[in-house]
Structure 1
Amino acid sequence: MNRVISIILGCLITGIGTLLLAHAHLVIGGTAGLSLSLSYLMGIPFSPTFFVINIPFYTFAVLRMGWNFTLATFAAVTLLSCITGGLEHWLFNGFAVAPWIGATLGGGLAGLGLAILFENRSSLGGANILALYLEQKYNWNPGYTNCVFDSIVVLSGVYAAGLLRGLYSVLAVIVISSVIGYCKSRSAKRAQILSTATEL
């Protein structure tokens, strides 16, 4: 039950952060960033676009991460799509956000939400799946892995957002990755302390 509550909380926080980024007209990495770019260019809603883009990544998740992780990721993606759709309609309709607020506050919330999902063996698909796989196999920090992939997506999405907002988008990626990396380090230290206490 605690895991379910944590995943819901992670999706809610990530959803608010993503909408702040979207209403600042910024681009982030991963499938969320790709979905935002498509929504800017094609004028289509973010929520269904985000849901559809993630479908191919579930095959990799099943093969490499198992059904438990895949189902949790599918639930998180579905939940985030519903949350962003609902918040967009009820709270963020016509709501404009300054780029620097979107990059810092939106990026910070998105990073925190993703960190909560990672901590509970869930993700939002796409590069998140690969980041967690590389963490399990090679002990790579998922924040750094996400930063590399996110930067590639952001650079490709500068055309959709414009140069200035593209620079703010890079700042958002740095904030997101820094928050994930910080939370991961804190979690690892906490686990080490608990392990040491148990041995004593």
Structure 2
Amino acid sequence: MTHTKRLNHNFFEDAQAILVAPLIFAFAVMLFREAGLLTGGTVGIAFLAHYLSGWSIGSLLIAINLPFYGLALRAMGKAFTIKTFLAVGLLALYTELLPGLIQVQGLNRLFAAVMGGFLAGISLLMLIRHKASLGGLGILVIHLQNTRGWRAGKLQMAADCIILLAAIFIRDPLSVGLSIVGALALNLVIAVNHKAGRYMGT
């Protein structure tokens, strides 16, 4: 039986992931926002606050994630925390810049839900493989898995369900239903492409 040597990502490989993955997720955010939808996780909380207050999603992402960096430092280490901090900051920046660079017209809402979910999943997959995240709830569920033994996947799914159910009070049923479709598309990408032991880069 042959063993393949595991290779760590170098600085430039990590850097491109931190630069590119948030841009891909920001495009997903733009599709969701243009279609009046939302997603799960910390970005979903930012969407809920955005629809309620009208505040920018970028500034909300920064504010919501602030309490989680201390936890990330204790639970995941310095490198993970720095990469996550940069990824969240870039996501906030890209989210505010993209509407000025791209004008979307005639957007099909179902397409926006599915394509947005796929793009968000690809973005998160890139960050996972480079030991980073988009902060917030992702950090919390990993911490609870490490300290309490609770399954991170199930915790994340439960949190996403709560966020999407909360949207019923501020969005119409069709928008909530399409948002659920987007969340399923996101999780499909992660479930199919992220298997422990398959990916040789660390």
TM-score band, normalised by the shorter chain? 0.7 to 0.9
Alignment check: 8 A CA contact 1:6 1:120 kept: yes
SS in 2 for 1:56: helix
Deviations for 1:87-114, whole angstroms, at most 9, x for unmatched residues? Answer: 022214x756332112100111011101
Identity %: 28
Normalising by structure 1, we get a TM-score of 0.85
Alignment check: 8 A CA contact 1:23 1:96 kept: no
Between the two proteins, the alignment pairs up a number of residues equal to: 189
Structure 2 residue 24 is matched with structure 1 residue 24: no
Distance 1:23 1:188, change over 3 A: farther
Partner residue of 2:60? 49
Matches within 5 A, 1:122-141: 122-133=132-143, 140=151
SS in 2 for 1:148: helix
Return 5+ residue gaps in structure 1 as ranges: 195-200
Return 5+ residue gaps in structure 2 as ranges: 1-11
Counterpart pick for 1:173 among 183, 189, 195: 183
Structure 2 residue 194 is matched with structure 1 residue 184: yes
Structure 2 residue 159 is matched with structure 1 residue 149: yes
Partner residue of 1:105? 115
- What letter is aligned with 2:43? A
2-structure distance, mates of 1:63, 1:157:
32
More helix by share: 1
Alignment check: 8 A CA contact 1:14 1:113 kept: yes
> 1:148 Cα deviation (Å)?
2.3
Counterpart pick for 2:93 among 71, 82, 89: 82
Matches within 5 A, 1:65-76: 65-76=76-87
- Root mean square deviation, CA, Å: 2.2
Alignment check: 8 A CA contact 2:68 2:140 kept: no
Distance 1:183 1:140, change over 3 A: farther
Normalising by structure 2, we get a TM-score of 0.84
1-structure distance, mates of 2:110, 2:193:
23
